[in-house]
Structure 1
Amino acid sequence: MKNSNKPIEHSLAVDELEGLLAQVQDQQRLLQQQLDYEHHAMLGLAKRLWVQQEQERAYFARELHDDIGQQLIALRAQIDALQNPQLHQIQEGLLHVIESTRNLSRIMYPTILFDLGLERALAWLNRQLLEPTKVRLNINYDLSIELPNAVNLLIFRVAQETFVNSVKHAQARQIDLAISETSQGIAINVKDDGVGFDAQSIELGIGLQSLKDRALACGATLDIKSKPEQGCEISLLLPYQQLSELGDL
């Protein structure tokens, strides 16, 4: 009797284990589905926040140009009407402030990007940020497809942030910017010859962290490579399927 019962007990134990394993696998699938849902929800929220941020920049850019800029121009006209040579320095200062206000407005919301395209906008950004500091820029622009406005703006912001970092922190003398089509998607690579930093141990500043957040919101991957005295290289890859999803702003 004992011998005949053992196989039955063993069989029941196996059935129970298989049932428990099936329950665990079902729970894993449910958890994975929940994680995927929350991940997509987070990406959607991040994208909406990015779009909202750009819309706010556009609003403040218009305020700078239409309100403050026009007031400065009116003030300069009043000073010109006085025809007082002693006010020449004030006139020159006002001209500088007016031009700075215009440039700030254009950087906050680069209408040149939407009017003339990405390549012309990057050349303008070079004139504004790099040429005054004697930093040399080499651009390799190799795109055969037309990109949506949101993608162009993403690339513009990547260039803007890396240019500022290279000038303010890296003490770079040269920056190489490459934009190309790969088998995986649109690739942006920015490399400078500055002082570099230990990318593995140093916490990213607000600018670079915002780039990573923006890349995540757009479904892109951002990689930062740097070592002390070996410059910094920032690479962004935007998969082709994200182009249509981003669309226009």
Structure 2
Amino acid sequence: MRSCTMPEHEHVDLQLLLQSLGDYAIFMLDPGGRVMSWNSGAERIKGYSADEVTGRHFSIFYPPEDIAAGRPARGLETAAAEGRFEDEGWRVRKDGTRFWANVVITALRDGEGRLRGFGKVTRDMSERRNAERALDERGRLLAHLVQAQEKERRRIAWDVHDDTIQSMVAVGMRLQLLASQLPGDHAEAVLRLNDTVNAAVGRLRNLAFFLHPPGLDSGGLVDTLSGYLEQVVSTAGLTYDFVPDLDEEPPPETAITVFRICQEALTNVRKHAHASSVRVSLASADQGVHVKVGDDGVGFTDPGDGSSRMGHFGLIEMRERAEISGGWWQLHSSPGEGSTVEFWVPAVRPRRS
């Protein structure tokens, strides 16, 4: 059989063509999955230069959960067995952010049929996916679900504030009046009971605030989150750094989703992290909102995807909120180096019917 070589001028022309295709990440892998070549589109989409990535295994472009599930290896196995493998899913850039990609892996064999490596073509499909989601009925159902949840939270908060708290305040006032009419020892016992009532009132007020912070309906995401940090984090003895960098106010259901995940993350910091400071950043990215909530607390050993702590209900709730909205969520932590909750949710406004 003939060797699959080509004249030198054709090889040069092919290289020029591959480098000019900036909308596609096109590169070669050796039979073990290590990067052998890298075009300008790959650098633009994935963020690595050729020098940074050549020789590294292509699994670095996959999220931790896909690596743990063996998806990179299965892709190569399928391409080697069938000649071609195509997939869509999350991929990871150099800076750790994710994008939705269409990936085609093609097995490359010489004239003797020996596997010499793989050709890999990746296309960033984030804009198409987000545009499709804007037309997807699931997006509309999500908006209705978020609104219904917040309406119920608001109703419960109002009931707690206007009924339960007011009744307990009235009980406290009567206990104080009763204490003023009793002799010393009895008065002291009644006042201790009044202190218990006052403490319960404080906890109920915190509950009402947690259920529905002021401004959540109309104040905007940045103002509401800033107020929450000042009210909750500062009073817990933590310092905080808030870095909002949004191009525009996200749609209401996106703002609520971001706020609720941040709220749960900050609750975990207060209760479990033993931290002295926390940093919250918001950024517009890929037609969505990219968020990081990091602390300088005790941290913990984590395999990379947060699974070591996924039995905790609060972490499950955060992840589910992000994924139901069409986004992603992950947890980074190391012992003694704090923890960071990172997530992205789409912020595409659905078209009005």
User: What TM-score results when the alignment is normalised by the length of structure 1?
Assistant: 0.69
Partner of 2:257: 154
Alignment check: 8 A CA contact 2:295 2:339 kept: yes
In structure 2, distance between residues paired with 1:106 and 1:73: 17
In structure 1, distance between residues paired with 2:216 and 2:149: 17
Higher fraction of helix: 1
Q: Deviations over 1:6-59 (max 9, x none)?
A: xxxxxxxxxxxxxxxxxxxxxxxxxxxxxx9xxx78777776655544333233
Partner of 2:338: 231
Alignment check: 8 A CA contact 1:150 1:246 kept: no
Q: Deviations over 1:133-180 (max 9, x none)?
A: 322211012234223332222122122111121222222222110012
Report the alpha carbon displacement of residue 226 of structure 1 after superposing the two structures with TM: 2.2
Number of positions where the alignment pairs a residue of Structure 1 with one of Structure 2: 208
Partner of 1:197: 301
Q: Evaluate the alpha carbon distance shift between residue 143 and residue 47 of structure 1 in structure 2; reply closer, same or farther with a 3 A threshold.
A: closer
Given the alignment of the two structures, is residue 179 of structure 1 paired with residue 285 of structure 2, yes or no? no
Q: Evaluate the alpha carbon distance shift between residue 106 and residue 128 of structure 1 in structure 2; reply closer, same or farther with a 3 A threshold.
A: same
Given the alignment of the two structures, is residue 55 of structure 1 paired with residue 151 of structure 2, yes or no? yes
Partner of 2:166: 70
Report the alpha carbon displacement of residue 77 of structure 1 after superposing the two structures with TM: 3.2
In structure 1, distance between residues paired with 2:241 and 2:142: 32
Instruction: State the SS of the aligned residue for 1:212.
Output: helix
Which residues of 2 match residues 36-115 of structure 1 at below 5 A? Answer: 50-82=146-178, 84=180, 86=188, 87-115=190-218
In structure 2, distance between residues paired with 1:234 and 1:162: 7
Q: Evaluate the alpha carbon distance shift between residue 102 and residue 133 of structure 1 in structure 2; reply closer, same or farther with a 3 A threshold.
A: closer
Given the alignment of the two structures, is residue 210 of structure 1 paired with residue 314 of structure 2, yes or no? no
Given the alignment of the two structures, is residue 121 of structure 1 paired with residue 253 of structure 2, yes or no? no
Of 49-58 and 71-80, the range deviating more from structure 2: 49-58
Partner of 2:246: 143
The AA in structure 2 aligned to 1:245 is P
Alignment check: 8 A CA contact 1:43 1:216 kept: no
User: What TM-score results when the alignment is normalised by the length of structure 2?
Assistant: 0.51
RMSD (Å) for aligned C-alpha atoms: 3.1
Of 60-69 and 71-80, the range deviating more from structure 2: 71-80
Partner of 1:245: 350
In structure 1, distance between residues paired with 2:265 and 2:295: 9
Q: Evaluate the alpha carbon distance shift between residue 47 and residue 217 of structure 1 in structure 2; reply closer, same or farther with a 3 A threshold.
A: farther
Q: Which runs of 5+ in 2 are unaligned?
A: 1-131, 181-186
Q: Which runs of 5+ in 1 are unaligned?
A: 1-35
In structure 2, distance between residues paired with 1:213 and 1:197: 22
Higher fraction of strand: 2
Report the alpha carbon displacement of residue 88 of structure 1 after superposing the two structures with TM: 4.1
